[in-house]
């Protein structure tokens, strides 16, 4: 009798409350290429590296919520939760909230972008998919 082993596809679950760890080796500086421990595609990596923190000095950016790199510096933790389809039990979205910000959804179900008439929040509209171990 021979048995064939097939690896199971398991979705990673990183939901919960995540708090920054500050010590003498971590001054709170965001490290280039480290984005919450989630590997990025080449396009996502290039866009992330092109961002410049000096944008927050512009008057029109003064009320804009801070981005993910400030999680490691700020006094609050990030809360991540998953949205699960009640029928298929598949994860349809991940949500992240930190620093008193709005909900930032990352849709995993392939939905189309909202119309131009839909409400546009600071959280924006993001889609994502797992490609191997990269989100």
85 lies in some domain: yes
41 lies in some domain: yes
**Using one digit for the tens of pLDDT, what is the confidence trace for 27-63?**
555 565 566 666 778 888 888 778 777 877 889 887 7
d(CA 45, CA 47): 5
31 lies in some domain: yes
Residue 128 has pLDDT above 60, yes or no: yes
68 lies in some domain: yes
Residue 93: what pLDDT?
A: 92
Within 12-113, strands assigned E span 16-18, 78-84, 91-97, 104-107
23 lies in some domain: yes
Residue 119: what pLDDT?
A: 83
3 lies in some domain: no
Tell me the percentage of the chain whose pLDDT exceeds 70: 68
Q: Count how many domains the chain has.
A: 1
Burial degree of 14 (CB within 10 A; 0-12, 13-18, 19+): middle
Number of helices (H) and strands (E), helices first, in the chain?
Answer: 1, 5
Residue 85: what pLDDT?
A: 94
Return the residue matching tokens 């080449």.
Answer: 42
* Domain boundaries, position 30: 16-127
108 lies in some domain: yes
pTM (two decimals):
0.60
134 lies in some domain: no
């Amino acid at each position: 009798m021979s048995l064939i082993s097939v690896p199971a596809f398991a979705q990673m679950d990183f939901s919960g409350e995540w708090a920054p760890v500050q010590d003498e080796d971590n001054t709170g500086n965001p490290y280039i290429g480290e984005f919450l421990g989630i590997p990025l595609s080449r396009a996502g990596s290039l866009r992330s590296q092109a961002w410049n923190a000096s944008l927050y000095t512009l008057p029109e950016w003064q009320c804009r919520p801070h981005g993910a790199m400030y999680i490691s510096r700020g006094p609050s933790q990030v809360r991540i939760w998953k949205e699960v389809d009640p029928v298929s039990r598949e994860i349809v979205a991940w949500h992240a909230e930190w620093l008193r910000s709005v909900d930032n959804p990352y849709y995993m179900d392939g939905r189309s972008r909202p119309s131009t008439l839909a409400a546009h929040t600071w959280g924006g509209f993001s889609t994502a998919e797992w490609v191997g171990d990269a989100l």
